[in-house]
Structure 1
Amino acid sequence: MFASLRLLSRRALVSQVSRVQSLAQAPLRQFSTEAAAPKSGGGGGTWAFLFGAAGIGGGLYYAKEKGYLDEFLSSTPAATTQPKVQDYEKVRKAIADLMSSEKAEDYDDGSFGPILVRLAWHCSGSYDKATNTGGSNGATMRFPPESDIGANKGLDVARKLLEPIKEQYPWISYSDLWTLAGAVAIEEMGGPPIKWRPGRTDQPDGKNCPPDGRLPDGAKGAQHIRDIFYRMGFNDQEIVALSGAHALGRCHADRSGFEGPWTHSPITFSNEYFKLLLDEKWNKKKWKGPVQYEDKTSKSLMMLPTDMALVWDKKFRPYVELYAKDDQKFFDDFAKAFSTLLELGVPFKEELPKAA
């Protein structure tokens, strides 16, 4: 009981701080409700909120405000059998409740958030714009070979966590559930509202699983990062913004081979990752595992070679410096890029307008 109260108090504090920052730094930012990974590993942590108690619909703000959900829900003759906006809010609340449960407090650093972000990231990051294959649509990670590749090791935990919600709301597709969970997790951990809309469908088997090798390999450098992200359609600034999700979570040696958190607050979304990259001195860790870097000050944090590439590469570094100085700019750019990531390759209905 007391553990649960502590968790709720901590989340309330994060929520209030985030709200104050948003109001102070972005006076034009409005909310309608105002309450609203590598070929063989390397993403073991994450390629990882409701604003007040009434914020059930915060993450669906854009979809509701722009009419995306209304059009989606009314676009088929069988409207009476289609889920309503309120139904998606119930799913959202169930995800938020899962994150604030006592069970969550016992996981890793006290939150399921980072692994839910990683699930959404990895099921979406397999997209190839040249062939229009992969991506979140289909939820093919339910099946081998995608479920078995090294980059997705440990994500069975996240999929199992969401299974009771799927059973409670069987009308939602796995692909919509997984991506919505990632959006909710970002917000629950103090991050920006993520534009999200429904419309993904599930594949019945693994025949269309994307090939291995489409997710980032944490052991490699700048050219590899560009190869991976350019394939999805992102540019250098979006690459750096999305990399900021490493503010969340940690790597696990039994999953990726790497070990440790990137930041001191691995369940709080912030620009700390960029500040640490620039302000700390990073040395190669002396251990029997793969090459990774540890901070000189505490030796409790780590960075992957792909992280260090962001400060070593002359085109990436200016964006690291930008986001280290301006957390609101980071929040805005990340929210836009992450929403795009979740929608890669999704054949939304033609009458459904694109997110602004």
Structure 2
Amino acid sequence: MADADPKAGCPVHGGEMKIRSLLGRQNKDWWPDALPVDMLHQHGVSPDPMGEDFDYAEAFKKLDYAALKADLTTLMTDSKSWWPADYGHYGPFMIRMAWHAAGTYRVTDGRGGAGSGQQRFEPLNSWPDNGNLDKARRLLWPIKQKYGQSISWADLFILAGNVAIESMGGPVFGFGGGRRDVYQSEGDTFWGAEEIWVDQGAQTRITEEQVELEGPLAAIQMGLIYVNPEGPGGDPDPLKSARDMKATFLRMAMNSEETVALTAGGHAFGKAHGAKPGETFGKAPAGEAIHQQGFGWLTDADEIGKGHITTSGIEGSWSNNPTQWGGDYFRLLFKYDYELVESPAGAKQWQPINPDREDMAPDARDPNKRVPTMMTTADMALKMDPEFRAISERFRDDQAALDDAFARAWFKLTHRDMGPKSLYLGPEVPEETLIWQDPVPAGAAPSDADVLAFKSAVLSSGLTVSQLVKTAWASASTYRKSDKRGGANGARIALAPQKDWDVNEPAELATVLAKLNELRGSMSLADAIVLAGSAAVEKAAKDGGFDVTVPFTGGRGDATQDWTDVESFHWMEPQADGFRNYLKTRQPVKTEELLLDKASLLGLSGPEMTVLVGGLRVLGANHKGIPKGVFTHRKGALTNDFFVNLFDIDTFWDLADTASDEEFIGYTRGERTEKWRATRTDLIFGSNSQLRATAEVYAERGHEEKFVRDFVKAWVKVMNADRFDLA
């Protein structure tokens, strides 16, 4: 696998940091004339027509699963005149749809993936790499309409891909349902800062000068799922393409063997489309006329059904048996020498030199006609790159190994963002547990007596409120709603790599965990960490003048090192955590935006984020105890002092260092006496009008108890974020 550093910091171009927006280009930038439906969903109004009470898991259990699969199997060969099936089989089309629904997943921040059916919405609906998949989804509509709420679009996309593979004799590892649809674009995903799409000449994100993908990004160019099939930026260089493939698949938690298996397995089926120049078809769905009813990339009406389809611009199939699983892909790749040619659409592709007739492919519309097969530059990378070649030759010579590798990699691709295995639904959930599912053994909830005894012991152990709160926060705040990874369950903060993350202060963490292990008895370490932090919050609240009980629900288990996917967890190391006033290195976005990103991944609202920051500051939860933002003389007591002192009109703020805008000093007006130190994530609560309006509520006299109780509620939400058994 490529030696890309999973913990690499921000990109620097020419030695100068380029600050960008957290979200980059948004739908309104690409399609300014689009109907602003989002205005209907302001102020907490949900766009979900099913309502919050809808239980998709219960609806799925009522599904006639066998009948649904039978209908999908029938669909595969039920070619429609308005969009005819290549070779009379929609299987390859459905595989591409499912692959592209899942392939946006990235391990960096857990965003993307098939988990919510985002392919239905912009920008993915209109990405160049998703060309004509609008037709695949429309072919599925009669089946979705028939089975209704018992099958989500998100589940249907992936199941259709599985059935397609099975219908063509391919291997399938299993299927788990449980993906609940959303009903609007997920606007908190950064897809890139570029102002042009791949088909408009966008350059690859990796160059000799820029050796890492920026931030969380996984695709090589704007509008792609993975890499440009013609080569980096259209350059047909197989070795550079291999470089890009390793980088992008690594960002999607795939190793080189999985990368080769998926590429070869996916390209065993179907064809690419480049029969006519791209300018002969219309706009993407988001830019088309209203009477096209959501269809895009349209050609002349007289040409529909005659094979004049252009999508990628590359033309032809990879195999001489494009609707049958087997070893032909690797056989042809290694049997022939290939020459660089251009497709009818002008795309660069590779064609075998003097192929035998039996190694030529049937025409997509006329089975009596034979046409040459082809390979993309990305396919040639599997032959030219030494690492890829060794894997490819092994798969060529061992069909069973390819069968198993592809089935497992496909299952991982299509299920990676679903969270723990306990959330999978249906009769085809595999019995085998896989390490990338982050398994955690079942835990047992401690008794009430054990809870009380432990709380008493930990508060008299010599560990401080700050230490206990920081440890609980460090454990639980790894959770991210995007792919349901992380969280307190499993106590992976005690395991590599989390125990060694700089943000977790490894030396102090080891001290705290050693004491908790000494005191916990039969209680799981995961429960002990959360309970100790909650006990500290109760003590801090009492020291601030309020008796509160922090709700605690035990039952967490402890993960093991052997069943922890260290490589993929490395990607989850925070480069910034505004809740702990931590910034590892300067990032290419404003530091306060990184706080919002962290809060979003935790599933927090604006008020929840605000009250947690204010509370954690006064509790002394800052990284390494730095004083920045600790606007109190009662550190360790849970008070609203952070907000009261931030809004003190007798304080004015100035840069601590004119060479940096990350640290500030608060002075007494008129005297210029230093009172406080702060970071951007502190001062944003006074600078941003919306955050200030929320923070002012917690600074108001009479709201001291409200602050404490709101903090406790938000704290418990984070501690239980990964307790799907409590939902």
* 1:84 Cα deviation from its structure 2 partner: 3.4
Choose which of 270, 279, 285 in structure 1 pairs with 2:326. 270
* 1:194 Cα deviation from its structure 2 partner: 3.2
Structure-to-structure mapping, 1:336-355, within 5 angstroms: 336-348=408-420, 350=422, 355=430
- The reply to whether residue 292 of structure 1 matches residue 349 of structure 2 is yes
Q: Specify the alignment match of 1:109 in structure 2.
A: 87
Choose which of 167, 180, 183 in structure 2 pairs with 1:188. 167
Pairwise CA RMSD: 2.5
* 1:82 Cα deviation from its structure 2 partner: 2.9
Q: Distance in 1 between matches of 2:180 and 2:63?
A: 20
Amino acid at match of 1:131: D
Structure-to-structure mapping, 1:147-296, within 5 angstroms: 147-171=125-149, 172-208=151-187, 211=191, 212-220=223-231, 221-244=241-264, 245-253=266-274, 254-286=310-342, 289-296=346-353
Change in CA separation of 1:286 and 1:257 when aligned onto 2, cut-off 3 Å:
closer
Q: Specify the alignment match of 1:135 in structure 2.
A: 113
Q: Distance in 1 between matches of 2:252 and 2:145?
A: 32
Q: Specify the alignment match of 1:322 in structure 2.
A: 394
Q: Does the residue aligned with 1:184 lie in a helix, a strand or coil?
A: helix
Change in CA separation of 1:328 and 1:205 when aligned onto 2, cut-off 3 Å:
same
Change in CA separation of 1:287 and 1:326 when aligned onto 2, cut-off 3 Å:
same
* 1:83 Cα deviation from its structure 2 partner: 3.2
- The reply to whether residue 305 of structure 1 matches residue 377 of structure 2 is yes
The answer (yes or no) to whether the contact 2:56–2:180 under 8 Å persists in 1 is no
Change in CA separation of 1:100 and 1:108 when aligned onto 2, cut-off 3 Å:
closer
Q: Does the residue aligned with 2:139 lie in a helix, a strand or coil?
A: helix
Amino acid at match of 2:352: D
* 1:78 Cα deviation from its structure 2 partner: 7.0
Change in CA separation of 1:81 and 1:312 when aligned onto 2, cut-off 3 Å:
closer
Q: Distance in 2 between matches of 1:260 and 1:150?
A: 18
Q: Which runs of 5+ in 1 are unaligned?
A: 1-75
The answer (yes or no) to whether the contact 1:282–1:295 under 8 Å persists in 2 is yes
Q: Specify the alignment match of 2:67 in structure 1.
A: 90
TM-score (ref. length: structure 1): 0.73
Q: Does the residue aligned with 1:218 lie in a helix, a strand or coil?
A: coil
* 1:325 Cα deviation from its structure 2 partner: 1.2
The answer (yes or no) to whether the contact 2:258–2:406 under 8 Å persists in 1 is yes
Change in CA separation of 1:85 and 1:273 when aligned onto 2, cut-off 3 Å:
farther
Q: Specify the alignment match of 2:122 in structure 1.
A: 144
Q: Distance in 2 between matches of 1:79 and 1:228?
A: 33
Change in CA separation of 1:147 and 1:281 when aligned onto 2, cut-off 3 Å:
same
Q: Distance in 2 between matches of 1:304 and 1:349?
A: 36
Q: Distance in 2 between matches of 1:139 and 1:352?
A: 16
Q: Which has the higher contact order (CA 8 A, sep 6+)?
A: 1
Q: Distance in 1 between matches of 2:74 and 2:417?
A: 30
Q: Does the residue aligned with 2:181 lie in a helix, a strand or coil?
A: coil
Q: Does the residue aligned with 1:162 lie in a helix, a strand or coil?
A: helix
Please identify which structure carries the higher helix content: 1
Structure showing greater Rg: 2
The answer (yes or no) to whether the contact 2:102–2:413 under 8 Å persists in 1 is yes
Q: Distance in 2 between matches of 1:223 and 1:80?
A: 41
Q: Distance in 2 between matches of 1:198 and 1:340?
A: 14
Q: Which runs of 5+ in 2 are unaligned?
A: 1-52, 192-222, 232-240, 275-309, 356-370, 433-727
Q: Distance in 2 between matches of 1:116 and 1:77?
A: 28
Deviations 1:130-154 (A, max 9, x none): 1010000111111111111110001
Q: Distance in 1 between matches of 2:60 and 2:410?
A: 25
Amino acid at match of 1:347: G
